[in-house]
Amino acid sequence: MKETVVVGMSGGVDSAVAAYLLKKEGYQVIALFMRNWDSAINGEDYENADIICPQERDYNDAKEVCQKLDIPLHRVDFIKEYWDYVFKYFLDELKKGRTPNPDMLCNKYIKFDLFKKEAIKLGATYIATGHYARIENGKLLRAKDLNKDQTYFLADVTKDELKNVLFPIGNLLKKEVREIAFENGLNVASKKDSTGICFIGERNFQKFIQNYLQENPGDIVNVAAKKVIGTHKGLMNYTIGQRKNVGLSGHNERHFVCGKDVSKNILYVTIGDEEYLYSDACLIENVNFISATHPTLCTAKFRYRGEDYPVELEYLENNEILVKYPSKAKAVTPGQACVLYLGEECLGCGFIKEIYKNGEKLWYL
């Protein structure tokens, strides 16, 4: 029998197959289910919130998988910690007019910190998750299935936190993962992948956020004409590049969100795919390098599933980097992560603070 591995069991097919593969390799496998959100405790106040976010169903699915694989399942609540380390930050960023990425914080503070500590209590030598990613020689690498690659969400996890971590499905395509689940009679083989922000799930974002942030309507301004053309429902409901649900249904042209002014409560929009959506540099802060390599030339993703842009890095003081992308990028968004890559290797990330074009900070962001 190999060493003990504690697997983060979510109730989905990816973590189920990860557990199966580890047991097949001879590891002593223990499953641990994390409960990070409770609709009632966390103040949601609309009908059927507990149905829309079905954590109990996920737990029951995880329990059935573990019974099938004959591995023990433990359960731990991180509801308070998730609120303190992830959700408060999420709300604070929205108040600043930024677009936060709570899934990255969940990985950093919950899945690869608190979860890891809990796993050690259970006797773990390693922890494992169902992330699509690979670790080789201490380097975080993109998954074989580039369409499912999740290194973007892992880029803020520290090098130390990634020690003794296994990603069993990182060398598999998603279709291969489902095939393994079907072949072994796992109940989650055809279960739909979860989408959206982890604690929101499939629910309507605007209705969800109204439980925590009060609506504050203000002017929608055409950024080119500097003219008021409508009223927004609160800046927290919009992100840069957004086209749908902007609130300008009476206008024939397609409008895109291109900026926010929190102090004046203004939402800036541009008509069509205009120059106001593009930039050629951004300043990132709170930089985390997983890799020992700190290049001046590499590529960057400004959003999950976004394209890789060739970039030049200028290292500044206060753990900040000026990221230059001469080919220009669309809808680079304050608060989002800029994740750096050198070929297959994920180097780390920083969070977008300011955005520039032609050497000047964009005034409407």
- Catalytic option among 53, 66, 106, 282: 106
The per-residue DSSP string of 164-187 comes to TEE-TTTTS-HHHHHHHHHHTT-T
Q: What is the chain's length? A: 365
**How far apart, in whole angstroms, are the C-alpha atoms of residue 247 and residue 332?**
22
Annotation marks residue 106 as catalytic: yes
Dihedral, 268, 105, 168, 289 alpha carbons, nearest 10: 90
Name all contacts of 244-252 with Cβ < 8 Å and 24+ positions apart.
245/206, 246/220, 247/220, 248/220
- Residue 257, strand partner residues: 269
Dihedral sign, Cα of residue 66, residue 69, residue 72, residue 74: negative
User: Which secondary structure element, helix H or strand E, spans residue 18, and what is its range?
Assistant: helix 13-24
Dihedral sign, Cα of residue 282, residue 287, residue 288, residue 290: positive
- Catalytic option among 53, 66, 198, 346: 198
**How far apart, in whole angstroms, are the C-alpha atoms of residue 245 and residue 237?**
9
Annotation marks residue 298 as catalytic: no
Active site residues: 106, 198
